[in-house]
Every structure is written in C-alpha cells, then in structure tokens.
Amino acid sequence: MRYSNCFVPTLRDVPADAEVISHQLLLRAGYIRRVTSGVYDYLPLALRVLRRIEAIIREEMEKAGAQELLMPMVQPAELWEKSDRMAKYGPELLRFKDRHDHESCLGPTHEEVICDLMSRELRSYKQLPINLYQIQNKFRDEIRPRFGLMRGREFVMKDAYSFHADDESLMAEYRNMFDTYTRIFDRLGLRFRPVEADTGSIGGNDSHEFHVLADSGEDVIAHCDGCDYAANVEKAVSVRSVPAGTPAALAELHTPGVTSAEDVAAFVGIEPALLIKTLVYRVCGGEQDGAIVAACVRGDDQLQEVKLIHALAADAVELASDAEIEAIGGVTGFVGPVGLQQAELWMDIGLQGAIGMVAGANRRDLHVTGLDVARDVAQARFIDLRETRAGDRCSHCDGSIALSRGIEVGQVFALGRRYTEPMEVQFQNQQGKREIATMGCYGIGVSRLMAAVVEQCHDEGGIAWPDVLAPFTVILVSMGQSDGVMEASGDIYQQLKRAGVDVLWDERKERPGVKFKDAELIGIPLQVVMGDRGLAEGVAEFGRRGGDRREIAVADVVAETL
C-alpha cells in the first residue's frame, strides 16, 4: 500500500478525553474514531489489526475442534423471557420494539439464541459434543463506556458455546478451551494470567478469566506467591451486601461499636433512611482479623456519598479518624463526599481502595496511592482467599497474596444446565431416553484485545505492535523525492509485494522527520529506508522500529524482511 493512498488520519496532540495510553495512541495514530459514547469506527489500520487477531483466534478455535457460525445481533425478547434473563440482565440489555410492536434486544451475548437453535436441531447423543463459535459485534449499554476500545458499548467478541451429554465431557471441553485461550494469548505476545472468576450475570459453576497484566486494568487480581492460586478479587474476597436494617449481619462481624444500620448511619452522620446498602469486606491483617465496612448513601435518588466508616475490628487497630481518611482521600481521591460517577467508580474498584485506605489510616502511612497500600495489605492476606481455597484443597498455602491490575480479555464458563434446562436443549441418550444437555460458553474480547496489546506494547514514539499483529510488516521510507530514490523505492516495493510481504510505502512529499515520527507512531515493526546516499552504493538502511538501522544491499531487502 502507498502511504498517500492510505487513510491514516494521525493527530499531533493527545486527545483531551483519552485517559489511558491505548485510547490515546489508537486515536493519535489514526486507528479509531469515536462515533458516539462507547461506539467507534475502526479505520483501515485498526481493521487490519483486528483481522489478524481474529485470524489467530479462528486458527486456534478450529484446531481445538470448534466450528464457526454467525448468529444475528437482533434477538427476540421471548428467548430472554424463556431463559429468565429479560428482567435479570438489567439496563445493559438494549431493548426496543419493531414496527409490529414486537419486543427485541441487541445481543450482549448469545446463550439464548444458540440454545434456541440447539433445542430445535439437537436430536441424538451422537451429535455431541459440539462447540460452535462466532466472531461478531455485541452491544451492551454499559453504564460507563470508557478507555476507548477497552469498554465500549458496541464491541467485537468471539463467543463459543459447547454442548455435551454429560458433565465429564463438558469439563474436558472447558479444559480444552482453557488451553486454547492460553495458546491464543501466547501467540498474541501478551503477558497474561488466568484467574478464578465469579460467574456474574452469565451464571453457572466453574469459571476462569484471562487477564492481561496492565496498570490501566479495571480489574484487580489476587495471586499467591506460594502456589498457583490466582483469582479475581470479586471472587477471592467475599463481598457481602447487607441491606440496611439487618443488624444481625453486621453484629456477626464483631465490629465493636457498629452493630446495626443505625450505628452505620450515625457513623456516617446521616439519617438511617438514607442508607441504602452497607458493604462488608472481610479482611485479615496478620493478627488483626476484622472487617471493613463501607456505606453507600443515597439522597434524592442519587448515590451521593460513599464513605468508609469503619476499620478493622479487634483491639490491634485504631479506628481511622475522619481527618485521617480525608488525608488519604486527598492522596487517592477516593474518600469524602463524592459525586455519583465517582462513587460508582469507587464501588467498582472500592475494595482495594477501601482496604488500601484503611491500611493507610492505620499505619499513618498517608503518602501512598491506593493500590500501593492495597498491595501492602495484601501481604497480610484476605481471609476469604483461604476460604475459597479450602474448597479446592485440604491444606492452606502459607504464601502471601499480592494484587495486580488486569484487563479481562477472556472468560470461560462451565454453565451446566443453567440455560439448556429452561431453553429445553434435549437429546436422546444411548438408552433412548430424553436428557437435558449440559453446556459451556467461552468469550474473548476481540476489540478489547487490540487495546490491551497497546497497553503492553508501546513506547514514547507510539505503538510497538508485536510482529504477528502489526497492520503492515514493513514500512519503506523514501528519503527525498529524487527520481533515483523514487525508482529504487518503487522497485523494492514491488519486490516486497511479490514476496508476499505486507509493506507500506511512505512515498509522501514529507520531511524525513515527519515520516519517521509517523512510522513510529503507527507502529510498523520493520523499517527500510531508501535515500540518495545509499542509492549510489546500492544499499538501503534496514532496522527494527525503535532500534538502530544498518546498511544492507538493496538486493537483500526482501530476504531480510521474510
């Protein structure tokens, strides 16, 4: 491709509303443009990357025995009534009526549609097991679309659904998909970690998430240095939601001085009626077992204030005073009267924040950011990690727990009969009896992956795509516009194309500085530079993005890039 024909609208400045680096770079390097909140255009460079991610996913899915199909984005509401998710899924499900007053929704996921299909087509155990997948746009009306492709409302997902005669077969496929995901993320060149996960609104039994490790991640994962235990904190720590007015639940925590909703309200300094929820986080800090209690306060129908109200029990720790909490709030920005958005954000990441703040208050260690403190506290470990583990093994590991941030790029679920039962996915078993099939589902955030890769692969110059994902393998830069240079570059360009190398030829009438800046920004891994000086000697410069270039014979260019 010639650069001057390529639609790459790069930007000089960092767009103001882009907080994370992947969002900034994908905008600046001309990959994506925002259409509306959480909805993006994928420009030609982005589409090339997306297609490469998809190709790797397809290859590995097919190798694993799955078959591709394509289901509709628009789904009839009846199917969601049948699975009992119409009401449960909440406002992320975008609902609408067609001209015949028929209620429909935009698919945020496809358990209903695939179960409906299978309920009609599945007859015999001989058809099982089967794993069907698609790569398709999903729509979720996310409350806070943000960070560009990381949390969109419309996004691309690979979703796979497997059906089985029994749970043994399901668990074999679950393992198969787990291994397949590991291969996919390895091939994408990512640093990632599979972790135990909560099943969320999808439901089911076992689940693992795959997290790309990055400080910009919205999730926090807890991992043990003594064994291979790793879990999303949503799963690792039991967060119990105690409705206001359930003193028993609070009393159970042995939290001195706070045993009722009234105590909580008094502590926060509000009318008890305004207290909508008390979140109880249980932690164990060395010898200091206890609880952290955070209250959500509602006024005028809006969540207005989230305050940390009480720290660890036992006598080992003092209560964090308001002043101390505020002081930490000044550092972390988490505590104190906060607006709706901030409060919700806090609720999302609140666990670590809360723990971090309490630890900070208790240790009078006020100059650390939320996550740093949380890491310290993590050394002291979460009680519930032990409880979670107790289910898996008889003995507890004594290693310490550390926290890191992660971007969830995939999740596998052993769903069991959560959908197949209400949706009547049945088959005839070997004895000729009707049985309900058991099911797994497996998602990968394809467009989110593009952002996650950039979070890990970038430098001051721009995006540093891994070779397997770069939109072009080679950028051929013509220095100057002399006939000789243009002719020699044109020759190299044709040779590279003939050899099947994806090459972008920067033949624009721009200064070399501009060309090199753009090449770095858009992130093409290999550079070939043709200028007047080398022309006479029959040499070009060749090198990797971000590294030094060396002279090579023009005749060797193709061989070097293969």
The residues, ordered by sequence, that sit 6+ positions from 559 with a Cβ below 8 Å of its Cβ are none
Nearer Cβ to ligand ATP (136/428): 136
Structure tokens at 20: 């994370």
Q: How far is the CB of 151 from ligand ATP (least distance, A)?
A: 4
157 binds, options Mg ion, ligand ATP, none, Cβ within 5 to 8 A by partner type = ligand ATP
Nearer Cβ to Mg ion (262/348): 348
Q: Is 140 in the site for ligand ATP (CB under 6 A)?
A: yes
Q: How far is the CB of 188 from ligand ATP (least distance, A)?
A: 13
Q: Is 409 in the site for ligand ATP (CB under 6 A)?
A: yes
Binding mask 33-62 for ligand ATP (x = CB under 6 A): ------------------------------
Q: How far apart are CA 449 and CA 53, in angstroms?
A: 8
The phi and psi torsions of 164 (rounded to 5 degrees) equal -140, 155
Please, where are the H alpha helices in 502-556? Answer: 512-522, 532-537
The phi and psi torsions of 414 (rounded to 5 degrees) equal -95, 100
Closest by Cα among 316, 335, 313, 297 to 257:
313
Q: How far is the CB of 152 from ligand ATP (least distance, A)?
A: 4
Task: Tell me the three state secondary structure of residue 311.
Answer: coil
Residue type, position 76, single letter: P
448 binds, options Mg ion, ligand ATP, none, Cβ within 5 to 8 A by partner type = ligand ATP
295 binds, options ligand ATP, Mg ion, none, Cβ within 5 to 8 A by partner type = none
Residues for the chain: how many in total? Answer: 562
C-beta nearest to Mg ion: residue = 411
410 binds, options ligand ATP, Mg ion, none, Cβ within 5 to 8 A by partner type = ligand ATP
- Which residues on adjacent β-strands are paired with residue 62? none
Q: How far apart are CA 140 and CA 143, in angstroms?
A: 9
Structure tokens at 540: 């070009």
C-beta nearest to ligand ATP: residue = 445
Q: Is 203 in the site for ligand ATP (CB under 6 A)?
A: no
Window of 152-160, 409-417, 432-440, 528-536 that interacts with Mg ion by CB under 5 A:
409-417
Nearer Cβ to ligand ATP (149/425): 149
Q: Give, as ranges, the residues between 221 and 280 that touch Mg ion (CB under 5 A).
A: none
155 binds, options Mg ion, ligand ATP, none, Cβ within 5 to 8 A by partner type = ligand ATP
The residues, ordered by sequence, that sit 6+ positions from 243 with a Cβ below 8 Å of its Cβ are 277, 278
The phi and psi torsions of 70 (rounded to 5 degrees) equal -135, 125
Q: Is 408 in the site for ligand ATP (CB under 6 A)?
A: yes
Instruction: Pick one of 203, 290, 350, 410: the residue that binds ligand ATP (CB under 6 A).
Output: 410
Q: Give, as ranges, the residues between 432 and 451 that touch ligand ATP (CB under 6 A).
A: 443, 445, 447-448
Q: Is 131 in the site for Mg ion (CB under 5 A)?
A: no
Nearer Cβ to ligand ATP (1/94): 94
Nearer Cβ to ligand ATP (220/325): 220
Judged on CB neighbours under 10 Å (0-12, 13-18, 19+), 460 is exposed
Instruction: Pick one of 131, 388, 411, 473: the residue that binds Mg ion (CB under 5 A).
Output: 411
Q: Is 142 in the site for ligand ATP (CB under 6 A)?
A: yes
- From residue 545, give the alpha-carbon distance in Å to each of 205, 208, 533, 555, 556: 46, 36, 21, 21, 19
Q: How far is the CB of 217 from ligand ATP (least distance, A)?
A: 9
Rg for the chain (alpha carbons), in Å? 27
- From residue 55, give the alpha-carbon distance in Å to each of 63, 138, 468: 12, 19, 10
Determine the distance from the C-alpha atom of residue 124 to the mean position of all C-alpha atoms in its chain, rounded to a whole number: 38
Q: How far apart are CA 252 and CA 518, in angstroms?
A: 61
Nearer Cβ to ligand ATP (90/484): 90
The residue ranges that bind Mg ion (CB under 5 A) are: 408, 411
The residue ranges that bind ligand ATP (CB under 6 A) are: 109, 140, 142, 151-152, 155, 157, 200, 202, 408-411, 443, 445, 447-448
